[in-house]
């Protein structure tokens, strides 16, 4: 019942928002109310999951043997909590951003946003691979209008890259991977011990694992990461949606889900033995690109590529501790990255600055924004008192437990690199004197500031009260 409601709330919200297109205030109220309702819904389900329940719902067979089925397990619950909670916050932020920048087609924006949330929740609740794939592709198509929101030539080009890479990966790799899984395993249902264990071995297993790892292009493993920087043409709330709320999270979530529930922890270690190396390479390479990027959003985009690879790396090491780390990092990165994007959008709205080199002294004019930015940066680096520390702790412990020295080295090196590209921004903003600039501006519109302060506070809160997400994550491994 509650499960069905979780999908229906955002879908119904999309319809209502479309109906209210002549009344912006009502439209945005609907959007926020739906977000709050969804969060309440998912939270109440989360309580059941913590008590050990696995709420499930079969919505009928699509094909013989393939049901449209939903089942909420701890990881999905964590993802759904993050997505629904951040929908509310980004809804508040969007109001400020879209009005502050006089964006066009605002109704279409809110409709697609709500549909994207429906897609993300569908991915989170999917009870089998086919359902997951259905919502995964749905998410690709409903976010396309958001990415190309401006409708000009750069938007068209960015949209093309976005769609091309996501569809090439999902159609060319993920779809055959599913078909092969069905052929070998005879099932596509997520099962606690996996469905492939003992039915496949050696290079074939590694090959299938590769089809999955690269087929889930939303996880942005190199070399399939280019869609993420390309999607930077979109308005900032969309970037937040892509990087924190729904899209990339759907990607890494799907990978963790495939590793744990399709391959199974024992067998997965064999099939995914190569994956830490690819993920490790992605972490380092993306960090180096980020280090050299002057455009703030581009730097954040490559930071996302690298942070996502953390999750993949941790999932691929396949020790209970690292799986907990992977699950926690999905939430921790979401909170930290959304703060950073909100801050970037606030800087753009208030000061019309997009490059890192232009940020000198801005911290004094926009203290709230940059304080929040600093907290987000700490979380990315993995320092207390931010949520990133908790997940990184588990990842490092997992790497130690598995005696995976390469992973450990990558984690240490990337921490330094993260510090290298985030701390200078904070330093510039607060300690370098401002350029003689005529623009007299303060903070961005209040809904934006409120939203980014809230997410920064949540980032800290997840460090202080880590027990709820931890309890969910521990149920997984």
Is 68 a binding residue for another protein by CB under 8 A? The answer is yes
Is 189 a binding residue for another protein by CB under 8 A? The answer is no
Choices 62-70, 314-322, 427-435, 446-454 (CB under 8 A): range interacting with another protein: 62-70
Least spacing, CB of residue 210 vs another protein, in Å: 15
Question: From the list 1, 183, 202, 439, which residue makes contact with another protein (rule: CB under 8 A)?
Answer: 183
Least spacing, CB of residue 170 vs another protein, in Å: 10
Question: From the list 180, 408, 419, 461, which residue makes contact with another protein (rule: CB under 8 A)?
Answer: 180
Question: From the list 15, 53, 58, 171, which residue makes contact with another protein (rule: CB under 8 A)?
Answer: 171
Question: From the list 1, 63, 433, 467, which residue makes contact with another protein (rule: CB under 8 A)?
Answer: 63
Choices 58-66, 201-209, 220-228, 294-302 (CB under 8 A): range interacting with another protein: 58-66
Is 145 a binding residue for another protein by CB under 8 A? The answer is yes
In contact, 380 and 418? CB cutoff 8 Å? yes
User: Which CB atom, from 176 or from 367, has the smaller least distance to another protein?
Assistant: 176
Instruction: Report the site for another protein in 388-447 (rule: CB under 8 A).
Output: none
Is 168 a binding residue for another protein by CB under 8 A? The answer is yes
Is 148 a binding residue for another protein by CB under 8 A? The answer is yes
Question: From the list 138, 277, 281, 430, which residue makes contact with another protein (rule: CB under 8 A)?
Answer: 138
Is 167 a binding residue for another protein by CB under 8 A? The answer is yes
Is 8 a binding residue for another protein by CB under 8 A? The answer is no
Least spacing, CB of residue 252 vs another protein, in Å: 20
Question: From the list 23, 104, 156, 352, which residue makes contact with another protein (rule: CB under 8 A)?
Answer: 156
Gyration radius of the chain's alpha carbons: 21
Choices 34-42, 166-174, 322-330, 332-340 (CB under 8 A): range interacting with another protein: 166-174
Question: From the list 137, 189, 270, 437, which residue makes contact with another protein (rule: CB under 8 A)?
Answer: 137
Least spacing, CB of residue 103 vs another protein, in Å: 16
Least spacing, CB of residue 162 vs another protein, in Å: 11
**Quick one: three-class SS letters along the chain?**
CHHHHHHHHHHHHHHHHHHCCCCHHHHHHHHHHHHHHHHHHHHHHHHHHHCCCCCEEEEEEEECCEEEEEECCHHHHHHHHHHHHHHHHHHHHHHHHHHHCCCCCHHHHHHHHHHHHHHHHHHHHECEHHHHHHHHHHHHHHHHHHHCCCCCHHHHHHHHHHHHHHHHHHHHHHHHHHHHHHHHHCCCECCCCCCCCCCCCHHHHHHHHHHHHHHCHHHCCCCCCCHHHHHHHCCHHHHHHHHHHCHHHHHHHHHHHHHHHHHCHHHHHHHCCCHHHHHHHHHHHHHHHHHHCCEHHHHHHHHHHHHHHHHHHHHHHCCHHHHHHHHHHHHHHHHHHHHHHHHHHHHHHHHCCCEHHHCCCHHHHCHHHHHHHHHHHHHHHCCCCCHHHHHHHHHHHHHHHCCCHHHHHHHHHHHHHHHHHHHHHHHHHHHCCCCCCCCCCCCCCHHHHHHHHHHHHHHHHHHHCCHHHHHHHHHHC
* Cβ-Cβ contacts under 8 Å for 33 (sequence gap 6 or more): none
User: How far is it, in rounded angstroms, from Cα 158 to Cα 148?
Assistant: 7
Question: From the list 107, 182, 285, 353, which residue makes contact with another protein (rule: CB under 8 A)?
Answer: 182
User: Which CB atom, from 135 or from 368, has the smaller least distance to another protein?
Assistant: 135
Residue window 92-131: x/- pattern of binding to another protein, with contact defined by CB under 8 A:
--------------------------------------x-
Question: From the list 29, 141, 199, 427, which residue makes contact with another protein (rule: CB under 8 A)?
Answer: 141
User: How far is it, in rounded angstroms, from Cα 45 to Cα 472?
Assistant: 12
Question: From the list 21, 54, 99, 160, which residue makes contact with another protein (rule: CB under 8 A)?
Answer: 160
In contact, 308 and 349? CB cutoff 8 Å? no
Question: From the list 40, 175, 288, 423, which residue makes contact with another protein (rule: CB under 8 A)?
Answer: 175
User: Which CB atom, from 163 or from 346, has the smaller least distance to another protein?
Assistant: 163
Least spacing, CB of residue 242 vs another protein, in Å: 19
User: How far is it, in rounded angstroms, from Cα 457 to Cα 215?
Assistant: 35
Is 226 a binding residue for another protein by CB under 8 A? The answer is no
Closest CA to 42 of 80, 16, 97: 80
User: Which CB atom, from 176 or from 361, has the smaller least distance to another protein?
Assistant: 176
| Size of the residue set binding another protein (CB under 8 A) | 31
Is 22 a binding residue for another protein by CB under 8 A? The answer is no
Residue 91 is encoded by which pair of tokens? Answer: 């809804």
186: left (phi over 0), alpha (psi -120 to 50) or beta: left
Is 227 a binding residue for another protein by CB under 8 A? The answer is no
Question: From the list 46, 127, 159, 382, which residue makes contact with another protein (rule: CB under 8 A)?
Answer: 159
Residues that bind another protein (CB under 8 A): 60-64, 68, 130, 133-134, 137-138, 141, 145, 148, 151, 155-156, 159-160, 163-164, 167-168, 171-172, 175-176, 179-180, 182-183
């Amino acid at each position: 019942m509650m499960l069905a409601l979780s999908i229906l709330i955002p879908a119904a919200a999309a319809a209502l928002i479309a109906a209210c297109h002549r009344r912006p205030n009502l439209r945005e109220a609907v959007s926020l109310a739906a977000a709050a309702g969804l969060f309440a819904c998912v939270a109440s389900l989360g309580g059941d999951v913590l008590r050990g329940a696995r709420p499930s719902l079969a919505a009928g067979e699509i094909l013989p043997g393939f049901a449209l089925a939903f089942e909420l397990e701890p990881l999905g619950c964590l993802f759904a909590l993050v997505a629904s909670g951040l929908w509310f916050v980004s809804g508040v932020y969007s109001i400020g951003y879209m009005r502050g920048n006089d964006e066009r087609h605002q109704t279409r924006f809110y409709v697609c946003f709500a549909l994207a949330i429906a897609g993300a929740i569908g991915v989170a609740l999917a009870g089998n691979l086919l359902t997951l794939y259905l919502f995964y592709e749905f998410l690709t198509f409903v976010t396309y209008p958001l990415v190309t929101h401006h409708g000009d030539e750069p938007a068209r080009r960015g949209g093309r890259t976005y769609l091309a890479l996501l569809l090439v990966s999902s159609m060319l790799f993920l779809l055959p991977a599913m078909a092969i899984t069905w052929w070998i395993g005879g099932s596509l249902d997520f099962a606690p011990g996996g469905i492939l264990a003992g039915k496949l071995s050696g290079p074939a297993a590694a090959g299938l694992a590769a089809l999955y790892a690269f087929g889930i292009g939303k996880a942005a493993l190199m070399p399939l990461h280019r869609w993420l920087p390309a999607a930077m043409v979109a308005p900032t709330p969309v970037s937040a949606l892509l990087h924190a709320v729904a899209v990339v999270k759907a990607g890494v979530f799907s990978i963790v889900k495939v590793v744990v529930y399709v391959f199974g922890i024992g067998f997965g270690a064999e099939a995914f033995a190569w994956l830490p190396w690819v993920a490790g390479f992605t972490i380092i390479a993306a960090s180096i690109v980020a280090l050299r990027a002057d455009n703030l959003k581009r730097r954040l985009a490559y930071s996302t590529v690298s942070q996502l690879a953390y999750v993949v790396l941790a999932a691929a090491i396949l020790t209970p501790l690292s799986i907990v780390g992977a699950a926690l990092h999905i939430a921790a990165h979401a909170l930290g990255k959304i703060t950073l994007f909100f801050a970037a959008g606030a800087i753009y709205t208030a000061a019309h600055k997009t490059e890192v080199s232009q940020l000198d002294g801005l911290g004094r004019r926009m203290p709230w924004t940059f304080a929040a930015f600093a907290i987000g940066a700490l979380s990315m680096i993995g320092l207390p008192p931010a949520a990133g520390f908790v997940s990184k702790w588990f990842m490092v412990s997992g790497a130690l437990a598995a005696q995976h020295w390469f992973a450990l080295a990558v984690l240490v090196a990337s921490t330094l690199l993260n510090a290298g590209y985030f701390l200078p921004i904070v330093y510039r903003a607060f300690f370098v004197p401002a350029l003689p600039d005529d623009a007299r501006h303060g903070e961005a519109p209040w809904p934006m500031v409120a939203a980014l302060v809230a997410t920064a506070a949540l980032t800290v809160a997840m460090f202080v009260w880590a027990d709820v997400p931890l309890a969910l994550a521990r149920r997984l491994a």
